[in-house]
Amino acid sequence: MFNNQTGMTMSKSSSAPVFKPLYEQIKVFLTQSLIAGEWKPGESIPSEIELAARFNVSQGTVRKAIDALAMENILIRRQGKGTFVATHKEEQSKLRFLRLTAADGYKQPLNNRMLECKRLKADNDISQLTGLKKGTAVIEIKRLLMFADSPKILDYIVVQSKFFRGLNSARISEHNGSLYSMYETVYGIPMVRAEEKLTAVAATAEQARILNVAPGFPLLRVERVAYTYGDKPMEWRVGLCVTDEHHYMNELE
């Protein structure tokens, strides 16, 4: 329960107040509206004045909450147009989490090749990767990403079956866009941020065959967890990258 007079959130199970800056509480309420689907990806949200009246706070407090969500790429401000919910459908967002770049900086066409999509119960390896309990129903996707028809990334992807009912090879192949775009448009699950761990590994015989390199060839292993609203993990991915002509690029602010 939110108390606008004291700026405190009272726990339902305890009378102890939890102090948070007012704009952070408004940020939580905005996030809850996004989770509930009040504003869909790509849609505009109400103006700062409307939201200030709705939450009975100042416009400056709402602006600070929106700024925080914009910094997290959950909302996007557009000069003269308003504030919009971020979407993976937009061209500039389709490859938002893809950091592999050609050494010469040239943007090459990206193609996907579906290798496998199957339903199974989480085993020890999947449980260790995802933190899900053994036996949890999951969908495992294996695909190959190619730049200019040259294999560069072997992706292993795991999602929970209960959130992605009907997901199969045919549906993925039919969708014209990234997996994140499909999660958003078909299943109503936008991915808003990701965490990655990078390590160097040697290609196994099978990986080498798929990536057209020699066994033992050095690969960049990118382990990623993608989150939706409310910081809820929804996808686990391991990408094995060939970086002899590419590099991993990230922008730090």
> What's the confidence (pLDDT) of residue 173?
83
Q: How far is CA 139 from CA 153, 208, 238, in A?
A: 19, 24, 14
CATH 3.40.190.10 fits 2-85, yes or no: no
Q: Check residues 236 and 73 and name the one with the higher pLDDT.
A: 236
Per the CB < 8 A criterion, the answer to whether 245 and 103 are in contact is: yes
In the structure encoding, which two tokens stand for residue 167, read together?
Answer: 């997901």
Summarised one tens digit per residue, pLDDT across range 106-130 is 666 678 889 999 999 999 999 999 9
Architecture, CATH, for domain 91-248: 3-Layer(aba) Sandwich (3.40)
Same fold, 2-85 and 91-248: no
For the entire predicted model, the pTM comes to 0.72
Summarised one tens digit per residue, pLDDT across range 190-243 is 888 889 999 999 999 999 999 999 999 999 999 999 999 888 999 999 999 998
Domain boundaries, the chain: 2-85, 91-248
**Neighbour tally for 61: CB within 10 Å:** 20
- CA dist., res. 139 & res. 119, Å (int): 5
- Alpha carbon 153 to its chain centroid, in Å, reads 18
